[in-house]
C-alpha cells in the first residue's frame, strides 16, 4: 500500500484555481485510487467475491436493506457485534459511500427517521445541507438575461454544493441513540475502502452518466474512470484516500470536517476547483466558507404523522416534502375504499390524490426556518377533503392550482390552473435497519444528481454534493411567492423522507426510496399496494410503478405503460402516460429503487430490497429463518 503524505502537504497541493491548474495534477501524483493490482483480503471483499445479492431476507436478530451487498453486509456485521440499528445505519451508509460514491458518502446529506423501541417514540434527524451564507435568491439565474440557468449545467457547477452534512448526521445519530463509537461504526467502511470492492454494473452506468463532469476534475477522473471511460465491471477498486478520511474522522470526530483540515480542503476545492486543463464545463466556482461549516448543526425534529387505514404513518417534516405530501395524499385516499374499488378506479384515485398533493407541495413547502410552512393544514384530513372533492370521473388538467391549507376549510377548493413542477433530478439511496431490540432506522441520503457536483475533494476520496439545485431557480412568475428560493443558510426543499408505520404502537413496516420527487410517489404506491391491495412487501416494492406529480402525463414503467390497466385508465378516466426507461441508461427517467422492512411479529423481520431496478439491492438478516 502507498504511504500517504501528511495532511498539511496534501492541502498545499489542493490549492489550485480555475485559472491556473498545472498539468501535473492530472498525473497520479496526488490521486491514490489503485486498481486491481493488489490482492484483496478475502474478509473485506467477500461481499463482492462470492456472496450473492438477495432482494428478500427473513429472520431474527436484526435486518438491513440497502442498494448494495457490501453496504448491507457492513450493517449486519455491526449488528452481530452488538451494535443497534443506529450503529448499523451509520456503518451501512458510510460503506455505501465507498461502494457507491455516486449516491452516498461524506459529501452529502439526508434525513433519518428513527423508531426507538424503549420509549416507543419516532424521532427524526434533519441532516440536510445548508446553502452557504453567501447564497442569494438569484444565484441560479443568469445575470445577463435574468433567466433561470439550465438545470443540468447548474448541477455540474461547484456553486451547487451545499454544506456537507452527512458526517454531522452520523455523529449526531450515534451520540443520541447509538451504542458504539463513531470509530467502531466506521470500521467496515475503512476496511472496504482500503482493501477494495468490485465495480458492478450499477457503478459502471452511474459513471457513464456522469462522465463529462467527472472528467472535468483530475481527482474524479483518476479515482473513478480509466482510459477516459468507466471502470470495467469486476475491477477491484480501492480508495485509500477515503479510508484515510474515515480514519481521521474516527480519530478526531466530526470537527475534523466542520472545524478542521478536511473542512478547509472542502472549501478550497469548492471555491477554487482544480479542473482538467482545457475543460470548459466548470464555470461557476463555489461560495462556501469555513464559517458555513462551523455553523452547521443537525436538528432533531418531530416527525409528521397521519393515520391511514388504522396505521400511524410517520415521516419527515419540512424541509422535506415527503412527510407532508405522502401524508396529504394518504388523507385524500382515506376517503375512498380502494380495496373494494375496481383496480383501475383505485389507481385513478391514487393518481389524482398525488396530483393534488404535489400542487400543494410546490406552493407551500420550503425550509420552515425561512418561510412559513402550513404543515398542520397540509396534514389536516379536513383540508384533504377540500382536495378530494375536486376529483370527479376524469383526470384533472395539470398543472392544477394549490389549495388553501389554512382553516377554516370551505367545500371544494379551486381546480384552476397552477404552476408546473420545477426540474428536479432523480437519484439517492434509502437504507433501512432494525435490531434485536426492535429499534428501526430509515435513512434516505444522497449527494444528489448522479455523482453530485462531480468533484472529488482532492486527496480525500469522496464526491461533493450538488444539492443546492433542489432550490427553485426563479419564482413561478416574476414577483410571485416561492417558498423554495435560495438564501444564505437555508435548506432546499427535499423529497427524501422514508416512512415508519406503526399498528397500534407496534412496528408494522418501514419503506423509503430513491428518485428525487418520485420518492414520494414510490412510497405512496408501495403503501397502497401493501395496505390497500394486500400485497406482501416484496411484491409491493416490485410492482410496476406509475407516478403523477401535477404534470400533464404520469410517468409509467414499461410493465405499467403496456398494461391493460393503463389502457383502461386512459379510456375510462382520461389519464395520460409517458414511458419511463430504466433500469438501463438513460438514468434520468429511471424509477428510484426502494428498500423496506416488514415486521412479522415475535422478532421476525422481512427485509426487502429492489429485485431488478438498478440491478437489484441487498437485503440481509442476522439469523435467517429456516426455509428462507
The answer to whether residue 366 forms part of the interface with ligand DON (CB under 6 A) is no
Q: Which residue among 470, 472, 532, 606 contacts ligand DON (CB under 6 A)?
A: 470
Angle subtended at Cα 609 by Cα 345 and Cα 185, rounded to the nearest 5 degrees: 140
The answer to whether residue 448 forms part of the interface with ligand DON (CB under 6 A) is yes
The least CB distance from residue 512 to ligand DON, in Å, is: 11
DSSP 494: B
Nearest in space to 267 (alpha carbons), one of 241, 283, 287, 296: 287
Q: Which residue among 203, 256, 364, 449 contacts ligand DON (CB under 6 A)?
A: 449
DSSP 574: -
The H or E element spanning position 314 is strand 311-315
Residue 189 or 365: the one with the smaller Cβ distance to ligand DON is 365
Residue 205 or 428: the one with the smaller Cβ distance to ligand DON is 428
The least CB distance from residue 444 to ligand DON, in Å, is: 8
The answer to whether residue 315 forms part of the interface with ligand DON (CB under 6 A) is no
The answer to whether residue 545 forms part of the interface with ligand DON (CB under 6 A) is no
Residue 83 in contact with residue 66, Cβ under 8 Å? no
Active site residue 428: yes
Nearest in space to 600 (alpha carbons), one of 112, 54, 55, 57: 57
Q: Which residues of 151-175 are buried (b: 16+ CB within 10 A; e: fewer)?
A: beebbbbbbbbbbbbbbbbbbbbbe
The site that binds ligand DON (CB under 6 A) totals a number of residues, namely: 16
The least CB distance from residue 424 to ligand DON, in Å, is: 7
In this structure, are strands 554-556 and 577-579 parallel, antiparallel, or unpaired? parallel
Nearest in space to 115 (alpha carbons), one of 67, 179, 177, 186: 177
The least CB distance from residue 259 to ligand DON, in Å, is: 26
The answer to whether residue 158 forms part of the interface with ligand DON (CB under 6 A) is no
Q: Which residue among 166, 326, 356, 426 contacts ligand DON (CB under 6 A)?
A: 426
Residue 334 or 446: the one with the smaller Cβ distance to ligand DON is 446
Residue 30 or 425: the one with the smaller Cβ distance to ligand DON is 425
Residues 420, 437: Cα–Cα separation, whole Å:
45
Residue 319 in contact with residue 484, Cβ under 8 Å? no
The answer to whether residue 425 forms part of the interface with ligand DON (CB under 6 A) is yes
* Residues 472-501, interacting with ligand DON (CB under 6 A): 494-496
Q: How far is CA 23 from CA 20, 48, 211, 222, 438, in A?
A: 9, 36, 20, 13, 54
The least CB distance from residue 466 to ligand DON, in Å, is: 8
Residues 363, 376: Cα–Cα separation, whole Å:
15
Q: What is the dihedral of CA 568, 569, 575, 580, to 10 degrees?
A: -90
Residues 31, 291: Cα–Cα separation, whole Å:
28
The least CB distance from residue 513 to ligand DON, in Å, is: 9
Which of the residues 95, 169, 428, 433 is marked catalytic? 428
Residues 164, 166: Cα–Cα separation, whole Å:
6
Shortest-Cβ-distance residue relative to ligand DON: 425
Residues 390, 372: Cα–Cα separation, whole Å:
26
Nearest in space to 597 (alpha carbons), one of 512, 476, 483: 512
Tell me if residue 225 falls in helix, strand or coil: strand
CA 371 centroid distance within chain: 23
Q: Which residue among 83, 106, 515, 591 contacts ligand DON (CB under 6 A)?
A: 515
Q: How many CB atoms lie under 10 A from the CB of residue 376?
A: 12
Q: Which residue among 516, 583, 591, 596 contacts ligand DON (CB under 6 A)?
A: 516
Q: Which residue among 467, 472, 593, 610 contacts ligand DON (CB under 6 A)?
A: 467
Segment interacting with ligand DON, rule: CB under 6 A, options 143-151, 422-430, 478-486, 566-574: 422-430
Segment interacting with ligand DON, rule: CB under 6 A, options 67-75, 210-218, 425-433, 476-484: 425-433
Q: Which residue among 428, 456, 529, 580 contacts ligand DON (CB under 6 A)?
A: 428
The least CB distance from residue 122 to ligand DON, in Å, is: 20
Residues at the interface with ligand DON (CB under 6 A): 425-428, 446, 448-450, 467, 470, 494-496, 514-516
Point out the residues that are catalytic. 428
Amino acid at each position: 500500500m502507498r504511504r500517504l503524505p501528511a495532511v498539511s502537504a496534501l492541502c498545499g497541493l489542493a490549492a489550485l484555481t480555475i485559472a491556473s491548474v498545472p498539468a501535473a495534477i492530472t498525473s497520479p501524483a496526488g490521486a491514490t485510487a489503485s486498481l486491481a493490482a493488489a490482492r484483496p483480503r478475502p474478509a473485506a471483499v467477500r461481499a463482492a467475491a462470492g456472496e450473492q445479492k438477495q432482494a428478500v431476507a427473513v429472520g431474527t436478530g436484526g435486518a438491513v436493506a440497502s442498494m448494495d451487498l457490501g453496504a448491507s453486509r457492513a450493517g449486519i456485521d455491526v449488528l452481530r457485534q452488538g451494535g443497534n440499528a443506529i450503529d448499523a445505519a451509520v456503518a451501512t451508509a458510510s460503506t455505501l459511500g465507498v461502494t457507491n460514491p455516486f449516491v452516498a458518502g461524506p459529501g452529502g446529506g439526508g434525513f433519518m427517521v428513527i423508531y426507538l423501541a424503549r420509549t416507543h417514540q419516532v424521532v427524526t434527524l434533519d441532516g440536510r445541507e445548508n446553502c452557504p451564507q453567501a447564497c442569494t435568491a438569484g444565484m441560479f439565474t443568469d445575470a445577463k438575461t435574468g433567466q433561470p440557468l439550465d438545470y443540468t449545467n447548474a448541477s455540474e457547477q461547484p456553486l451547487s454544493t451545499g454544506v456537507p452534512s452527512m458526517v454531522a448526521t452520523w455523529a449526531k445519530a450515534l451520540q443520541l441513540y447509538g451504542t458504539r463509537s463513531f470509530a467502531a461504526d466506521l470500521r467496515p467502511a475503512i476496511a472496504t475502502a482500503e482493501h477494495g470492492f468490485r465495480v458492478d454494473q450499477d457503478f459502471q452506468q452511474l459513471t457513464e452518466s456522469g462522465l463529462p463532469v467527472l472528467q472535468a476534475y483530475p481527482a474524479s477522473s483518476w479515482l473513478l474512470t480509466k482510459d477516459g471511460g468507466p471502470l470495467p465491471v469486476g475491477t477491484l477498486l480501492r480508495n485509500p484516500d477515503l479510508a484515510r478520511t474515515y480514519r481521521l474522522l474516527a480519530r478526531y470526530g466530526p470537527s475534523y470536517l466542520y472545524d478542521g483540515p478536511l473542512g478547509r480542503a472542502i472549501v478550497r476545492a469548492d471555491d477554487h476547483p482544480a479542473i482538467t486543463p482545457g475543460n470548459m464545463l466548470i464555470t461557476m466556482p463555489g461560495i462556501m466558507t469555513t464559517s458555513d461549516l462551523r455553523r452547521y448543526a443537525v436538528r432533531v425534529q418531530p416527525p409528521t404523522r397521519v393515520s391511514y387505514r388504522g396505521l400511524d404513518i410517520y415521516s419527515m417534516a419540512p424541509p422535506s416534502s415527503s412527510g407532508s405530501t405522502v401524508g396529504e395524499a394518504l388523507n385524500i385516499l382515506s376517503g375512498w375504499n380502494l380495496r373494494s374499488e375496481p383496480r383501475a378506479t383505485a389507481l385513478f384515485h391514487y393518481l389524482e390524490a398525488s396530483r393534488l398533493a404535489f400542487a400543494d407541495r410546490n406552493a407551500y413547502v420550503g425550509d420552515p426556518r425561512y418561510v412559513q410552512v402550513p404543515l398542520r393544514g397540509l396534514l389536516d384530513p379536513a383540508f384533504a377533503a377540500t382536495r378530494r372533492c375536486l376529483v370527479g370521473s376524469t383526470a384533472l388538467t395539470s398543472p392544477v392550482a394549490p389549495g388553501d391549507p389554512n382553516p377554516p376549510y370551505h367545500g371544494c377548493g379551486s381546480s384552476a390552473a397552477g404552476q408546473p413542477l420545477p426540474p428536479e433530478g432523480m437519484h439517492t439511496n434509502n437504507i433501512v435497519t432494525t435490531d434485536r431490540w426492535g429499534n428501526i432506522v430509515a435513512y434516505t441520503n444522497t449527494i444528489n444528481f448522479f455523482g453530485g457536483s462531480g468533484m472529488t475533494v482532492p486527496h480525500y476520496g469522496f464526491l461533493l454534493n450538488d444539492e443546492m439545485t433542489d432550490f427553485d431557480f426563479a419564482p413561478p412568475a416574476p414577483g410571485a411567492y416561492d417558498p423554495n428560493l435560495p438564501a444564505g443558510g437555508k435548506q432546499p426543499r427535499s423529497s427524501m423522507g422514508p416512512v415508519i408505520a406503526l399498528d397500534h404502537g407496534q412496528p408494522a413496516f418501514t419503506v423509503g426510496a430513491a428518485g428525487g420527487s418520485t420518492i414520494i410517489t414510490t412510497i405512496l404506491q408501495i403503501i397502497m399496494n401493501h395496505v390497500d391491495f394486500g400485497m406482501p412487501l416484496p411484491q409491493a416494492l416490485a410492482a410496476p410503478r406509475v407516478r403523477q406529480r401535477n404534470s400533464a402525463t404520469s410517468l409509467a414503467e414499461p410493465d405499467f405503460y403496456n398494461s391493460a390497466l393503463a389502457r383502461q385508465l386512459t379510456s375510462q378516466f382520461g389519464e395520460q402516460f409517458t414511458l419511463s426507461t430504466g433500469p438501463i441508461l438513460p438514468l434520468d427517467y429511471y424509477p428510484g429503487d426502494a428498500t423496506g422492512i416488514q415486521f412479522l411479529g415475535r422478532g421476525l423481520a422481512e427485509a426487502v430490497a429492489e429485485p431488478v431496478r438498478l440491478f437489484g439491492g441487498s437485503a440481509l438478516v442476522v439469523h435467517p429463518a429456516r426455509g428462507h
